[in-house]
């Protein structure tokens, strides 16, 4: 019965099933870690719980070691410690780049919208953007470094090159998919080109555009991390790359989980905002 | 009665990829007087929607001219209302906002919509919208719902209200009731006839259902194949005077038989057959 396609597992079974792989994964991890530590107590490849706890404390509660740790921080509160920690400094640095990239997606959405609405703009940009979309963003990284230097601009440009063509083309296609009836209707109700563009078409596609951006968050992070790993003095990916040289697995693993948590929260935030802003929208 | 719309020798040819171009309409002439209720009827694919789009200005004819009060207009505008079969409402706006959308767009630009005058005017418009909803037989409770929370019949009522608030010179409806169940549909037909009688708006209603056309129109225009090339033209132009109807608006039996016979004679026996 349980294996049939029309099975209806109860609450407890559903709950157990959905968490099973997490628990099994964690168990297997600590089993492997335990075995390695029996052979070599100083093993760093699969850190034990104690090593992980130490790594978390170092990363989450101690300031970046390169700045000499001031003594007054010793009795500061947990929150103060956290907000001066290495992890937090790195998070802020990466978040700044992330936000810049997100801001640059706004013009991308507008470009896609106008390309879809105004044939002349569409013809001007479409072929070029399609070409741009095929460029492997990482392959132009050297060009970016040469052109913009290895500072912030080239890292943000990498994200822009990697993600904006997709967003532009997605918005373009969404704009094109608005039924012709709606546009004619707009004209018959006294709207002009911009009224139809912003008050009818844009309003209708906005929730879908936001969903498309949500789907592309991973790509944004991918290019952000690539840029940071290759040329950066700070940021989450810079730290992970740096720690690799010292085999700092006990910090890398918490960093990876932290990044996953952040991405999950950003995605969730956008999902909730989308629902709130567009109560009429039903996800297909 | 004055000429509102003239179609002069209309031809429409669509290019078809990899094939000979398709002639949909050829040499079509039609005059529409102010205050008429024209029902355009014909089999599927005969070019009814194409003709409606021409009058709307959403499309230009390959040959001939479409004159609205003697002028060629290149684009749909506020004088020609439109109620399509699908996508007739803006899904992101409530019923009330859908109805007031037209006047708001027409009277205020983006800066104007931030002035107190706009909010005063909007209050007035909402009252008008409420009155229209009532006229359409809709519950005031529905005013703040979104279109997809309404039944198909309710959506089309709102769509009619949305078009009527502009007081268009002509209301163009394309299979507006075709997606409705029979009971809702006949209710909507009765409503539309009442609205036409009350507002005096010129209406052009496209349908493939002869029954609907005969019930609604003061004039029924039948489009049909005119030759072996498959292009369509007006094959029957029947006037349905008020005197041929009973008090409830239904056609008298003898009138009905006469009109159906005429449609058969004109070369559309299938239309007449589907009727009975
Ligand atoms: N943009 C177009 N390109 C090519 N052919 C078209 C186009 N629009 C319509 N046609 C063709 O023109 C003919 C008439 O189409 P139209 O939509 O006007 O018919 P209709 O009478 O409204 O039919 P229905 O009752 O099915 O709605 C059809 O054969 C259709 O295939
Ligand atoms: Mg049609």
| Residue B104 maps to a domain | yes
Element (H, E) at B214: helix B210-216
**B91/A280 CB distance under 8 A:** yes
Distance CA B233, CA B223 (A): 5
Distance CA A111, CA A129 (A): 11
Q: How far is the CA of A30 from the centre of ligand 1 (A)?
A: 68
Per-residue pLDDT at A29: 96
State which residues form the domain around B224.
Answer: 33-61+69-79+169-276
User: Quick one: B144 and B238 in the same domain?
Assistant: no
pLDDT digits (tens, 9 = 90+) for A240-280: 999 888 888 999 999 999 999 999 999 999 999 999 999 99
Q: Chain B: residue nearest A277 by CA?
A: B92
**A191/B105 CB distance under 8 A:** yes
Close Cβ partners of A78 (under 8 Å, ≥ 6 residues apart): A61
User: Quick one: A113 and A223 in the same domain?
Assistant: yes
pLDDT digits (tens, 9 = 90+) for B140-176: 999 999 999 999 999 999 999 999 999 999 999 999 9
Q: How confident is the model at residue A19 (pLDDT cuts 50, 70, 90)?
A: very high
The ligand minimizing its distance to the Cα of B50 is 1
> Does residue A34 carry a pLDDT above 90?
yes
CATH number for the domain spanning A266: value is 1.10.3720.10
Per-residue pLDDT at B276: 54
Backbone φ/ψ region at A41: left (φ over 0), alpha (ψ -120 to 50), beta:
alpha
Strand B22-33 relative to strand B3-14, pairing:
antiparallel
Q: What pTM value is reported for the model?
A: 0.90
State which residues form the domain around A22.
Answer: 11-46
Instruction: Compute the mean pLDDT over every residue in chain A, rounded to the nearest whole number.
Output: 91
Say yes or no: CB of residue B193 within 6 Å of ligand 1. no
> Does residue B180 carry a pLDDT above 60?
yes
By most ligand atoms within 8 Å of CB, the mutation choice from B10, B39, B45 for ligand 1 is B45
H helical segments located in chain A: 11-39, 49-61, 78-83, 86-117, 119-134, 141-148, 152-176, 180-188, 193-194, 203-215, 217-230, 236-245, 249-277
CA distance A283 to chain B (A): 12
User: Quick one: A271 and A218 in the same domain?
Assistant: yes
CA distance A234 to chain B (A): 43
Domain-terminating residue out of B151, B167, B183 = B167
Q: How far is the CA of B2 from the centre of ligand 2 (A)?
A: 28
> How many structural domains comprise chain A?
2
CATH number for the domain spanning B226: value is 3.40.50.300
Distance CA A125, CA A128 (A): 5
| Residue A186 maps to a domain | yes
Say yes or no: CB of residue B21 within 6 Å of ligand 1. no
Higher pLDDT pick, B249 / B97: B97
Token duo for residue A17 = 């099933």
Q: Chain B: residue nearest A189 by CA?
A: B102
User: Quick one: A156 and A94 in the same domain?
Assistant: yes
Taking alpha carbons only, the member of A194, A184, A202 closest to residue B77 is A184
Cα distances from A72 to residues A63, A69, A82, A84, in angstroms, run 12, 9, 14, 12
Least confident window among A201-205, A235-239, B230-234: B230-234
Per-residue pLDDT at A69: 55
Distance CA B96, CA B42 (A): 35
Q: For residues B120 and A210, is the Cβ–Cβ distance under 8 A?
A: no
Which DSSP category does A224 fall into? H
Q: How far is the CA of B50 from the centre of ligand 1 (A)?
A: 6
In whole angstroms, how large is the CA radius of gyration of chain A? 24
| Residue A62 maps to a domain | no
User: Quick one: B179 and B51 in the same domain?
Assistant: yes
Distance CA B19, CA A89 (A): 66
Instruction: Point out the ligand 1 atom lying closest to the alpha carbon of residue B15.
Output: 4
Residues on chain A bordering chain B, Cβ-to-Cβ distance under 8 angstroms = 179-182, 184-191, 195, 199-200, 203-204, 278-282
Taking alpha carbons only, the member of A250, A232, A141, A89 closest to residue A241 is A232
| Residue B193 maps to a domain | yes
Residue with tokens 């070369």: B267
Token duo for residue B117 = 């005058």
- Cα B73 to its chain centre, rounded Å, is 18
Per-residue pLDDT at A74: 67
> How many structural domains comprise chain B?
2
pLDDT digits (tens, 9 = 90+) for A111-132: 999 999 999 999 999 999 999 9
User: Quick one: A99 and A154 in the same domain?
Assistant: yes
User: Quick one: A38 and A129 in the same domain?
Assistant: no
| Residue B22 maps to a domain | no
CA distance A269 to chain B (A): 21
Residue A283 phi/psi, 5-degree rounding, is -65, 130
Residues of A in contact with B97 (CB under 8 A): none
User: Quick one: B159 and B253 in the same domain?
Assistant: no
Q: What is the ipTM of this complex?
A: 0.92
């Amino acid at each position: 019965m349980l294996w049939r396609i029309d099975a209806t597992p109860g609450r407890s079974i559903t709950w157990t099933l959905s968490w099973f792989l997490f628990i099994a994964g964690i168990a297997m991890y600590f089993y492997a870690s335990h075995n390695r530590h029996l052979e070599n107590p100083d093993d760093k490849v699969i850190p034990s719980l104690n090593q992980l706890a130490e790594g978390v404390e170092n990363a989450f509660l101690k300031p970046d070691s390169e700045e000499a740790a001031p003594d007054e921080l010793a009795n500061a509160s947990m929150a103060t410690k956290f907000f001066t920690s290495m992890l937090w400094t790195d998070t802020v640095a990466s978040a700044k780049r992330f936000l810049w990239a997100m801001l640059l997606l706004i013009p991308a959405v507008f470009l896609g919208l106008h390309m879809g609405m105004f044939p002349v703009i569409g013809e001007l940009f479409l072929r070029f953007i399609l070409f741009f979309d095929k460029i492997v963003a990482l392959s132009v990284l050297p060009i970016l470094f040469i052109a913009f230097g290895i500072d912030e601009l080239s890292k943000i440009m990498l994200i822009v090159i990697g993600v904006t063509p997709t967003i532009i083309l997605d918005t373009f296609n969404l704009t094109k998919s608005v039924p012709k009836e709606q546009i004619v209707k707009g004209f018959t109700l006294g709207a002009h080109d911009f009224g139809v563009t912003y008050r009818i078409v844009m309003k209708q596609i906005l929730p879908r555009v936001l969903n498309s951006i949500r789907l592309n968050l991973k790509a944004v992070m991918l290019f952000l991390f690539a840029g940071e790993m290759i040329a950066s003095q700070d940021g989450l990916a810079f730290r992970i790359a740096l720690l690799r040289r010292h085999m700092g697995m006990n910090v890398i693993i918490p960093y990876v989980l932290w990044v996953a948590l952040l991405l999950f929260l950003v995605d969730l935030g956008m999902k909730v905002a989308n629902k709130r802003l567009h109560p009429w929208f039903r996800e297909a | 009665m004055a000429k509102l719309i003239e179609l002069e020798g209309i031809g429409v040819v669509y290019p078809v990829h990899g094939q000979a171009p398709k002639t949909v309409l050829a040499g079509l002439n039609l005059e529409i007087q102010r205050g008429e209720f024209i029902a355009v009827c014909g089999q599927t694919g005969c070019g009814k929607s194409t003709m409606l789009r021409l009058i709307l200005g959403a499309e230009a004819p390959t040959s001939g001219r479409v004159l609205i009060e003697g002028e060629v207009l290149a684009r749909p505008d506020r004088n020609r209302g439109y109620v399509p079969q699908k996508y007739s409402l803006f899904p992101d706006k409530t019923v009330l906002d859908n109805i007031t959308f037209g006047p708001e767009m027409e009277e205020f630009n983006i800066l104007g919509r931030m002035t107190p005058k706009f909010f005063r005017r909007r209050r007035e418009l909402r009252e008008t919208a409420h009155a229209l909803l009532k006229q359409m037989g809709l519950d005031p409770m529905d005013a703040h719902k979104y279109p997809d929370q309404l039944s198909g019949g309710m959506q089309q009522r709102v769509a009619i209200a949305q078009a009527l608030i502009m007081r268009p010179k002509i209301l163009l409806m394309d299979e507006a009731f075709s997606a409705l169940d029979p009971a809702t549909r006949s209710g909507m037909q009765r409503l539309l006839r009442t609205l036409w009688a009350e507002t005096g708006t010129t209406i052009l209603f496209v349908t493939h259902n002869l029954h609907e056309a005969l019930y609604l129109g003061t004039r029924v225009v039948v489009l049909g194949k005119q030759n072996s090339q498959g292009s369509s033209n007006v094959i029957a132009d029947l006037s349905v005077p008020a005197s041929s109807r009973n008090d409830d608006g239904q056609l008298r039996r003898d009138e009905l038989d006469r009109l159906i016979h005429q449609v058969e004679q004109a070369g559309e026996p299938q239309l007449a057959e589907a009727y009975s």
